[in-house]
């Protein structure tokens, strides 16, 4: 059981085979549910507790777990770098359009870039089946009651996926604007996806997510005529939290703005 947010460690990795799904439910030697809790420049101060208080023991346990996750994330980062693989961590609240954006990206760039996908969900194979239908190799990581992917889950997914050298791995994290931002997976960078059907104050309500990301994709702009959403205000809020944040306004269904997203991905691969 995770002490940082209370979620479970019963992750399961499933891979698309030839016409069927195979899966494994394994816990590596000494495997725990590891958390990474960097504040990415935030203003939160460490909690001060007296040694005789129970919370002191909890804080020490959290620190030990976070340190172990950091170590696993660095191993992932080294494994990816040795192979020239670029891994990008895509995060959002549920329904922002991550899977639709992935489907469109694979179909548009699949002939140009070698792309694989790690799908993170609490349950089901639904999103992985959608990705599989594009012809892309995909691994499903079901986290059970877990609310995010961690470095160990990604490591197991990568071992199963075995992406080719000099390729692009897109990680679709569990739909959640809190915990996924706090966990280093060993990825090249974090991308937050937000839709215009959400409130424009999301960057202020969930600052860690927008502070951790280097790119914001504002999706579903084709719906702007039908919703009350101030894009300028949203971008302003996001850049108050993270002045270096790049922003692309897109419609994953209609195709608006996707050239900028594709160009950004090409640049990440070229840098590798």
- pLDDT per residue of the chain (272 residues) written in tens, 0 to 9: 454 555 655 677 765 543 334 444 444 444 333 333 343 334 443 333 333 444 566 666 667 777 888 899 999 999 999 999 999 999 999 999 999 999 999 999 999 999 999 999 999 999 999 999 999 999 999 999 889 899 999 999 999 999 999 999 999 999 999 989 988 999 999 999 999 999 999 999 999 999 999 999 999 999 999 999 999 999 999 999 999 999 999 999 999 999 999 999 999 999 88
Contact (Cβ atoms closer than 8 angstroms) between residue 219 and residue 247? no
Beta-sheet strands, E only, within 94-163: 115-121, 137-142
H/E stretch holding 16: strand 12-16
DSSP state of 45: P
Interatomic CA distance for residues 150 and 186, integer angstroms: 9
Interatomic CA distance for residues 19 and 35, integer angstroms: 35
**Burial of residue 204 (number of CB atoms within 10 Å: 0-12, 13-18, 19+):** middle
**CATH architecture, domain defined by 49-271:** 3-Layer(aba) Sandwich (3.40)
Extract the tokens encoding 233. Answer: 């205000």
Selection from 99, 157, 105 nearest residue 130 by Cα: 99
Contact (Cβ atoms closer than 8 angstroms) between residue 61 and residue 33? no
């Amino acid at each position: 059981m995770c002490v940082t947010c209370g979620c479970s460690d019963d992750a399961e990795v499933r891979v698309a085979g030839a016409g069927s799904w195979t899966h494994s439910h394994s816990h590596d030697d000494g495997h725990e549910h590891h958390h990474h809790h960097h504040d990415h420049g935030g203003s939160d101060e460490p909690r001060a507790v007296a040694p005789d208080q129970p919370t002191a023991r909890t804080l020490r346990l959290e620190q030990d777990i976070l340190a172990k996750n950091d170590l696993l994330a660095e191993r992932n980062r080294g494994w990816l770098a040795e192979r020239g693989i670029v891994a990008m961590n895509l995060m959002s609240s549920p329904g922002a359009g991550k899977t639709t954006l992935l489907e469109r990206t694979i179909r548009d760039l699949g002939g140009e870039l070698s792309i694989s996908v790690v799908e993170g969900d609490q349950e089901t194979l639904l999103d992985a089946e959608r990705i599989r239908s594009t012809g892309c190799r995909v691994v499903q990581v079901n986290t059970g009651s877990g609310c995010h992917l961690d470095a160990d889950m990604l490591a197991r997914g990568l071992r199963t996926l075995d992406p080719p050298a000099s390729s692009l791995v897109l990680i679709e994290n569990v739909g959640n604007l809190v915990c996924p931002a706090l966990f280093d997976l060993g990825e090249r960078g974090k991308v937050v996806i937000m839709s215009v059907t959400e409130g424009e104050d999301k960057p202020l309500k969930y600052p860690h997510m927008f502070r951790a990301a280097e790119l914001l994709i504002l999706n579903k702009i084709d719906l702007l005529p039908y919703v009350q959403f101030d894009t300028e205000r949203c971008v302003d809020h996001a850049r108050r939290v993270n002045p270096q944040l790049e922003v692309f306004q897109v419609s994953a269904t209609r195709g608006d703005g996707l050239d900028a997203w594709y160009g950004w991905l090409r640049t990440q691969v070229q840098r590798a």
